[in-house]
Amino acid sequence: MIKLFSETEYQDARYKDLLPLRCTCCDKIFYRTKNSIRRALLKLTAGTREYCSSSCANGLPKQLVKCKQCGKEFLKQSSRIKKTKNNFCSQSCAATYNNEHKTTGTRRSKLEAYLEEQLTTIYEFPIKFNSKEEINSELDIFVPHLRLAFELNGIYHYEPIHGKELLNKITNNDNRMYQACIENNISLCTIDTSSQKYFKPESSKMFLNIITTIIDSKVL
């Protein structure tokens, strides 16, 4: 089975806690309890635990397609190809493509723009914003020489505003980002900004202070 959780997360989870897996047939993210995964690892249950559904376990036909964002070729269920306009090899590629091809709205929040303006004024060393170079996924703030990154997580990262399915996708993407940072020796600090319903410089200073305090502790 394709595990999307670390050994520490597995050890800390309770038997009924859900942990993320990736279906080896359709690449869909799905969840199983720690107890189910433990039994599967001990070969006490059928190997179908690595599949998200009985359809995938039975092996639906697949076709070779190319990712619209990165050009990587991958297998995708024929039935799913007909339902989607574009094909993406991962949620990261889908998010990147959709952000780059938006026709309405803006990619960056007012809070992000405010923090960039303030941080580039406070510090003389280079700081990257919305960089995808380090882990092939966007980091809101990255301080290269400290190998330190910050993610600003709003309400959509914590509550199912647009449904549980979207929240699960966001959570999975957050977990993958955290794992990618570990693999690239980057310290990732997640800042919960959900308390800020509307942007105001006054309320944004709290988040700025959190970031500068952490950066200063690394510099000293």
Q: What is the pLDDT of residues 172-181, one digit of tens each?
A: 999 999 999 9
pTM over 0.85? The answer is: no
pLDDT of residue 21 exceeding 50, the answer is yes
pLDDT of residue 45 exceeding 80, the answer is no
Q: Pairing relation of β-strands 18-22 and 139-143?
A: unpaired
Q: Which tokens is 160 given?
A: 């199912």
Give the pLDDT confidence score for residue 82 in this predicted structure: 66
Give the pLDDT confidence score for residue 47 in this predicted structure: 43
Q: Which CATH number fits domain 110-219: 3.40.630.10, 3.40.50.1370, 3.40.960.10, 3.90.1170.50?
A: 3.40.960.10
Under DSSP, is residue 160 helix (H, G, I), strand (E, B) or coil? coil
Give the pLDDT confidence score for residue 106 in this predicted structure: 45
| DSSP state at residue 124 | -
Q: Would you list the domain boundaries of the chain?
A: 1-60, 110-219
State the helix-helix crossing angle for 164-183 and 91-100, rounded to 10 degrees: 100
State pLDDT tens for residues 116-160.
999 999 999 999 999 999 998 899 999 999 999 999 999 889 988
State pLDDT tens for residues 95-115.
666 655 554 444 578 999 999
